[in-house]
Amino acid sequence: MVVPRGGSKKRQAMLMGVGLDNKDGHTRITKGDNFVMMGGSEETHERMTETAIKVNEKLSVKGKALEEVSPKELIDIINDARS
């Protein structure tokens, strides 16, 4: 957790995806609001990125930020985004 100057603690969260099935030699890195996706085949990287974008959309509909949801709620949101 990062403590901003002034002493108050603010939770921060980020989704990070790492794809390990890259065999074509391309370096893939995609950054977005509260996520970074690295590596993977073209298909894997695209799937990770689409999932992260959908998670952000679902969080927005709920009116919540990533750091405001519980781990269980995040898992449910991710599973819903992947279906």
Domain ranges of the chain: 15-76
Residue 6: the pLDDT is 60
Structure pTM?
0.82
**Pairing mode, if any, of strands 15-19 and 29-32?**
unpaired
Residue 4: the pLDDT is 57
Q: Strand pairing partners for 22?
A: none
CA distance 58 to 53: 9
- The tokens describing 1, both together, are 């957790």
Residue 1: the pLDDT is 47
Give residue-wise pLDDT tens across range 9-38.
777 899 999 999 999 999 999 999 999 999
* Start-to-end Cα distance in the chain: 31
Give the per-residue SS3 of 12-23. CCCEEEEECCCC
Residue 7: the pLDDT is 57
pLDDT higher than threshold 90 for residue 5: no
> Collapsing DSSP states into helix, strand and coil, what is residue 79?
helix
